[in-house]
Structure 1
Amino acid sequence: MTDRPTSPALFASPLIGAGVVALCLVLIVVLAIQVPTLGAGQTVLDFDAFYIAGQMGREGQIVAAYDKVAMLGRQSALAGQEIWMPWTYPPQFDLVSMALTFLPRGLSYLLFTAGTFATYLLVLRRIAGPSLNDALFLGLPAFLITAAVGQNGFLTGTLMGLFALGWLGHRSRAGVALGLMVIKPHLALGSGILAVVSGRWRLVAVTFAVIGLTSALATAILGPAVWRAFLDGTATAADGLKLGYYPLYRMTSLYAMLATFGVNASLALAMQAGAALISVGSIIAASRMGWPAGRVLGVTLIASMGISPYNYDYDMPILILGLGLLLPELSDRLGLWGRRGLFAFTWLCCGWGQYAALTSGQHLASQKGIDTAISLGSLGHIALLVLVWRALLTRPAVASAPVAA
C-alpha cells in the first residue's frame, strides 16, 4: 500500500475498539445459541432467508426460491406471521446459500457471521492502519445490525476491502474481488466506474472474467432456468420497493427517505437517479484531482453508497472502509465540530434504522402499511460526503493536536 499520513486518534482508544469487536462477537454467539434450528422461537432473520434458499437449492427447487409465493410461504410458516423477504440474489450467491445448509442453522450462522466478521476486521486493519479504532467506533451501528440479522455485509465488506488493497498495490488481481461482488453488484458500481475512468483495463478484464466464470459455474450446477427465475425475482423486488413492502426506515438511499416522507414513488426514483449521478460525478471528480490513490478510493467507497436505491444499513461496512482510508488525513483537517459532525453523520447513516426500530411504539415489520417509520440514513450519508469533500479540499493544519470530541 502507498504511504499515508499518520495522526492521533479522532475518537477512540484501543479499549473502545476492542469493546466493539467483543460486543459484536458476543451478540453473534448469543444469537447462534438462541436460534439453533430454522424457525426456533418463530424467529426468521435475514440469514434464515439465505438458509431457506440454500435448502431449496439442494432440494433441486432453486427456481422456486425466486417465486414470491413459494419463498414467502416458507418464511411465514416458520415465523407464524407474514414475512416479506423475497429472494433476489444472483445465482452465484445461491451457491453460497447452499453451502450454508451443510451445517445446522445455529452453527452455520455462527461460522458465517463470525468468520466473515473476522476477515473483514483483517482487511479493515490493513486499510485503516493506526485509525483502526476510530473506524471500528464509527462502524459500530453497521456492525451490530449485520451481526444481529446474519446479513452478508461483512462478506461484501471483505471483498471490497480486498479490492481496495489490490487497487492501492496496483495489482490487476484486485479484479477478482470486484468480480465476486457480482453477488451484490449495485454496491460495487462506483469502484467499477473508478477502474474504467482510471484506465485500469487489465483489472476491468479480470473483473468480467470472474463474472463470466462464476456465471458459468452457477449455470452448470443450477441449470440455465435459474437466470430467468432470477430476473423474475428482481422484478418482484422492484415492485415491492415501489409499493412500500420493504423496511424503508432501514434503507440509506435518497429514494427510501423521500418515500417515507410521502413522495410519489416515480418522483422519488427520479430524484434517486439524480443522487446517483452526483455520486458518480463525485467519483470521477476525485479521480481527476491528482490526489493519492488512497484518497480517491476512500471518496469512491463513500460516494458509492449513494448510487442504488436499494442500500441497507448492513451494507455500510463498505462505507467504513472508505472512512478508514481517509481518517488519517481527516484528523488533520477537522476541528472540534467537524469531528462531531463526522461521528453524527456516520452514525445517522449506519444506525438510524436501529434507532427507529427501538424507539417506535409499534412493531416495524416489513409489510405494506406497517412500516411507518421515516428513513433518515440518506441524510447522514449526504452530509458525510459533503463533510469529507470539504475537509479534503482544506489545507491540513501545520501542527496537529488531539481535540476532544
Structure 2
Amino acid sequence: MLAAMRSGDWLTPARLRNYPIIFLALFSAAAIAAVLMSHGRMGPNNLPLGSDFSQVWVAGKEANAGHADAPFDIARHIAAQRAEFGPETGVFGWHYPPYFLAPAALLARLPYLQALLVWQVATLLLYLWSIVAILRRSGVPTASVIVSSLAFPAVIINLGHGQNGFLTAALLGGGMVLVDRRPLLAGALFGFLAYKPQFGLTIPLFLLIGRHWRTILGGVGTVVAMSAASVAAFGLESWRAFFAGLPFTRSVVVEQGATGFEKIQSVFAAVRLLGGDIPTAYFWQSLAAVSALAALALLLRSAADARTKGAATICATLLTTPYSLDYDMMALAPAMALLVAHGLENGFRPFEKSALAFAYVAPLLARPVATALPLPLGVIALTFLFVVIVSHAFDLKKREPKRGTALVGARREREMG
C-alpha cells in the first residue's frame, strides 16, 4: 500500500477521467434538487439560498442606506438580516474590512437571487480562467481542465454557502500566473486579497524572497488605493467599526468556534475540535505557522521550479491562519494545478500524486469526518500536500555541490583543458 501511495500508480488515466465526471454529475444533481426544493429566496433548510451571501447582500443594503458601520455591529446586522429574511434565519456575521463593502453595495442594488447568481457566476468564471491559464501549456485538453475544476468538491461547498472561495482562488492563481509576465497586474490581484487579511502572511514572503519588486509595488499601490476609496465611499467610521469588531471575531468566532470547529480547517480549530483549550490551540497554531513559514522560506530560496514555489506559498497561506473554512479550500485548486503542470512536464515526485488526490477529495470529507469522529481530515490533507512539496527543497539542497567541491572540480577542468 505504501508503495502504491509513493508511486501514485493507482491513479490511473481511467480514474482521472471518470471520477471528476461522476463527482460533477452528483454535485449537479444535488444543486438542482436544492433549487427545486426551495421556496422563493429560501432554501430547503429554511435558510436563504447561498446562506452566507445573504449577510453580504444585507451589508450592501446597509452601506447603500448610509449605514456602512452597521455590518460591524453584530446585533444590528443580525436584526437587519432577520428583517429581510425572517426571524428564523441563521446568524451570519460580517468579518471583512470595509474594502469588501464595495462589491456588496453594488450587488445589493439587485434583487437577492439575481445578486447571488451574478456573484457566483462571475467569480466562478474568474476561478476557471485562473486554472485554465495555469494548465494552458500542460497538454491537458481545456474541456478536461474545466470538468476537473468544476468537480473539485470545494466548488459545491462554495456554491451552497454563496461564499467568496472562487474569488480567493482566482486572485491567488491569477497572481501566480502573471507574476513574471505582468508583474503590476499580479500585484493588483494579490492586493485585492486584502479583503481576507488572515491570508496575508505568505504572499509578502513569496514576493520579497523572489525579488518581485514591481509586483510588490502593484500590490502596495492596490491596497493604498482600496483603502482611500473605502474611506471616500464609506467614511472613517467604517474602519473604526471594523477594528472595534475584531475582539468579537477573535473571541466568539475563532476561539469559541461559533462557526463550528468542524467547518474551520486550521490547526487551531483541529486542537479545539480534539478538546484542547485556547492557549494550547494557539501554541500549536503558532508552531505550525512558524514551521510553515520557515519551510516555505527554504523552498523559495532554493532552485525549485516557480510553479512549485507558487503551490507551496498557497498551501502555506492556509496553514498559517487560525481561521480558514472548508470553502476556503478552494485556494487549493490553483495550488494543485501548479503542481500538475510541473509534474506533467518534469515528472511527479514520490507521494505527490497521492497527496494531490487526497487534497482534491478533502473538502468533501473534511466536515462530515470532523463531525463524526472527530478527525481534522482537511488539515491533515493540507499538511501532507505541503510536506510533499517542501521536501523537494531538501532534495535540491542535497544535490547542490558544496562550494569547496565545486571549486576543486572547476580547477581540475582547467588543468585538463
When normalised by structure 2's length, the TM-score is: 0.80
Show the 5 A alignment for 1:18-37.
34=38, 36-37=40-41
Partner of 1:199: 211
Q: Give 1:351 shift.
A: 2.6
Cα 1:62–1:38 change in 2 (3 A) is farther
Does the alignment pair 1:264 with 2:277? Answer: yes
- Contact 1:346/1:381 (8 A) holds in 2: no
User: What residue number does 1:87 align with?
Assistant: 94
Q: 1:231 aligned to 2:243?
A: yes
Q: Which amino acid aligns with 1:198?
A: G
Q: Which moved more, 1:116-125 or 1:383-392?
A: 383-392
User: What is the match of residue 384 of structure 1?
Assistant: 385
Compute the RMSD of aligned alpha carbons. Answer: 3.0
What do the CA deviations read for 1:332-353 (whole angstroms, capped 9, x no partner)?
3356x753443224423x2334
> Within 2, Cα distance between the matches of 1:136 and 1:289?
34
Is 1:42–1:80's contact at 8 Å kept on the other side of the alignment?
no
Q: Describe the shift of the 1:328–1:382 C-alpha distance in structure 2 as closer, same or farther (beyond 3 A).
A: same
Question: Deviation of residue 265 (structure 1)?
Answer: 0.7
Letter of the structure 2 residue corresponding to residue 197 of structure 1: I
Question: How many Å separate the matches in 1 of 2:191 and 2:168?
Answer: 11
Structure 1 unpaired stretches of 5+ = 1-7, 361-371, 396-405
Helix, strand or coil: the match of 2:118?
Answer: helix
Structure 2 residue 291 is matched with structure 1 residue 278: yes
Structure-1-length-normalised TM-score:
0.82
- Per-residue CA shift, 1:33-91, capped at 9, x if unaligned? 73643789731411111111111111112211110111123345636447332211111
Q: Secondary structure at the match of 2:184?
A: coil
2:194 alignment partner, one of 177, 182, 191: 182
Partner of 1:153: 165
**Whole-angstrom distance in 2 between the partners of 1:23 and 1:60:** 43
Using the TM superposition, give the Cα deviation of residue 258 of structure 1 relative to its aligned residue in structure 2, in angstroms: 0.3
Q: Which residue of 2 aligns with 1:51?
A: 57
**1:346 and 1:254 mapped to 2: Cα distance?**
19
Identify the match of residue 12 of structure 1 among 9, 16, 22.
Answer: 16
- Pick the aligned partner of 1:103 from 100, 105, 110: 110
Q: Secondary structure at the match of 1:250?
A: coil
Q: 2:53 is aligned with what amino acid?
A: F
SS class of match (2:322): coil
Decide whether aligned partners of structure 1 residues 21 and 189 sit closer, same or farther in structure 2, where only a CA change above 3 A counts.
Answer: farther
Counterpart residue identity of residue 289, structure 2: A
| CA distance in structure 2 between the partners assigned to 1:84 and 1:375 by the alignment | 24
CA deviations 1:139-165 (Å, max 9, x no partner) are 622111001111000011111122111
Q: 1:296 to 1:135 in 2, by over 3 A?
A: farther
Matches within 5 A, 1:5-404: 11-13=15-17, 17=20, 34=38, 36-37=40-41, 42-44=46-48, 45-76=51-82, 78=85, 80-81=87-88, 83-129=90-136, 130=138, 133=144, 137=148, 140-169=152-181, 171-240=183-252, 241-330=254-343, 332-334=347-349, 339-348=353-362, 350-356=363-369, 375-390=376-391
1:92 alignment partner AA: Y
1:164 aligned partner, one-letter code: M
| Cα distance change on mapping 1:26 and 1:94 into 2, 3 Å | farther
2:179, 2:186 within 8 Å by CA — same for their partners in 1? yes
Compared with structure 1, are the counterparts of its residues 11 and 300 closer, same or farther at alpha carbon in structure 2 (3 Å cutoff)? farther
User: Post-superposition shift, 1:166?
Assistant: 1.2
**Cα pair 2:175 2:190 within 8 Å, conserved:** yes
Between the aligned residues of both structures, percent identity stands at 22
- 2:303 is paired with a residue whose SS is coil
Residues 304 and 392 of structure 2 are in contact (CA less than 8 Å); yes or no, is this contact kept in structure 1? no
Amino acid across the alignment from 1:250: K
Going from structure 1 to structure 2, the CA distance change for 1:90 and 1:27 (only over 3 Å counts) comes to farther
Given the superposition, is the C-alpha separation of residues 10 and 97 from structure 1 closer, same or farther in structure 2, using an over 3 Å criterion? farther
Question: Is the Cα–Cα contact under 8 Å of residues 279 and 303 in structure 1 kept in the other structure?
Answer: yes
Distance between the aligned counterparts of 1:277 and 1:140, measured in 2?
A: 29
Unaligned runs of 5+ in 2: 1-11, 397-417
Larger Rg: 2
